[in-house]
Amino acid sequence: MYIPITVDHIARVEGKGGIEIVTSDEGVKEVKLNIIEGPRFFEAITIGKKLEEALAIYPRVCSFCSASHKLTALEAAEKAIGFTPRPEIQDLRELLYMGDTIESHALHLYLLVLPDYLGYSNPLAMVDKYKKEIEYAMALKNVGSKIMDYLGSRAIHQENVVLGGFGKLPTKAQFEELRRELKEALPLAEYTVELFSKLEQYEEVTDDEMVHMAVKPRNDVYGIYGDYIKVSDGFEFPVEDYKKHIVEKVVEHSFAKHSFYKGKPFMVGAISRIVNNADLLYGKAKELYTQYKDLLRYNNCFANNFAQAIELVYFIEKSIDIIDDTLAKWPVKERDEVELKDGFGVSITEAPRGLLVYALEVKDGRVNYADIITPTAMNLAIMERHVRMMAENHWQDDPERLKLLAEMTVRAYDPCISCSVHVVRL
């Protein structure tokens, strides 16, 4: 008789999920990612509500990427009402988005992933021996948080982003302070690349059929906003067509749905962005990408960790550039008037964990239809396949070892489980 190998509550991820692996004499019979986080019905509760109020609650889908939710919902809403923000406001929103990504990547890499590789059960226990790493993690996290504090009102659930612009912009002195701190953080990000280049990439999860999806960045510069989605098989589609190419299904063991492209699982996230858009990187990140190209493997989900490290460098550099541009145009007007016309808008952006979809219909100033698909919901199907691959190679190992490897596979995706649960009209 075989007892299933279960992880009831996967640690060091955002949200509540479990892993269940059932084996027999022949090998692995069943692998399930159980998503047990309760449902929150975000689309359903905002339908019929005033647009501004709905926009205030969408970031609450998730704390690790609340700014991404806020900004994506906002872009969908502004498209719906036919408003286009001025380019300098658009840039500052991208800067806020980068603060989110810098913080999120730093927390994921150092506090959630690194302990596994260094043999610790939690990051706080690493302080004695790896003081420098913990300090770097906190410093990188802090610079991302500060961008969000100044531009978004706080690091979690930003209120200072509104239809038409911002409630209030940071002062010139605050921008200069951010610039200085970003400069100081850059070497720490480069150290992160070096550190993660030395970690093992698990060969067992080599999936040559892996397909990656990412935004095709606007203005041909690696970034998070775009109007088309690029697939690593060469296909491209406008964001408005997302429903034709990202097909969601409900599965019984999860409050979150699974997503498919051409009937198959696909991946989104930092590695997917690099696979599709590496040629649009610039600066130090481009150099590091060229140097470490071999580690950025399209067919191994563990490469996602390393891709995040490269992005840390890139987003810090790009943040500095946006601040320089902003200061060159100073003073910048914080907000334009908007008119709540009826309409429908789709925005797909690159959240720290990958593609985030918001589709909103506005009628009489209220949300008439809402559809949200989160990166983790898109990744769940392929994540489950890769946990299975890991299990197939290690099912005869010590169960504790298998559990750890299965968890590490999940953690490589940096899942945001709260995010994935909520969801879409069928």
Could you list the residues known to form a binding site for Ni(2+), using ranges. Answer: 65, 416
Of 186 and 416, CB closest to other proteins: 416
Q: How far is CA 335 from the centre of its chain?
A: 27
Which of 110, 175, 255, 413 contacts other proteins by CB under 8 A?
255
**Residues 30-69: x/- map of binding to other proteins (CB under 8 A)?**
------xxxxxxxxxxxx-xx--x--xx--xxxxx-x---
- Pairing state of beta strands 5-7 and 27-35? unpaired
Using rule CB under 8 A, residue 156 touches other proteins? yes
3-state secondary structure 182-208: HHHHHHHHHHHHHHHHCCCCCCCCCCC
Q: Which residues in the 234-253 window bind other proteins by CB under 8 A?
A: 250, 252-253
> Which of 159, 236, 287, 339 is the binder for other proteins (CB under 8 A)?
159
Of 99-118, binders to other proteins (CB under 8 A) are 107, 111, 115
424 binds other proteins (CB under 8 A): yes
Which CB atom, from 16 or from 86, has the smaller least distance to other proteins? 16
C-beta of 3 vs 426, nearer to other proteins: 426
Determine the Cα–Cα distance for residues 16 and 104; give it in Å rounded to an integer.
Answer: 18
Per rule CB under 8 A, is residue 288 in the interface with other proteins?
A: no
Judged by beta carbon, residue 42 or residue 315, the one nearer other proteins is: 42
422, 41 contact by CB (below 8 A)? yes
- For the chain, the 3-state helix, strand and coil shares in percent, each to the nearest 5, are 50, 20, 30
User: In Å, how far are 145, 171, 177, 426 from 74, measured between CA atoms?
Assistant: 20, 23, 27, 23
86 near other proteins, judged by CB under 8 A: no
Q: DSSP assignment, residue 3? A: P
Is 74 an interacting residue with respect to other proteins (CB under 8 A)?
Answer: no
Kindly state whether residue 154 participates in binding other proteins, applying the rule CB under 8 A. Answer: yes
**For 148, what's the count of Cα atoms within 13 Å in the CB-facing half-sphere?**
28
How far is 50 from 371, CA to CA, in rounded Å?
16
Work out whether 306 is an interface residue with other proteins (CB under 8 A): no
Element (H, E) at 248: strand 247-249
Distances (CA, A) of 108 to 116, 248, 376: 12, 27, 14
Pattern of binders to other proteins over 172-191, x per CB under 8 A? --------------------
Residues of this chain that bind other proteins (CB under 8 A): 9-16, 36-47, 49-50, 53, 56-57, 60-64, 66, 107, 111, 115, 121-124, 127, 134, 138, 141-142, 145, 153-157, 159-160, 162, 166-168, 250, 252-255, 407, 418-419, 422-426
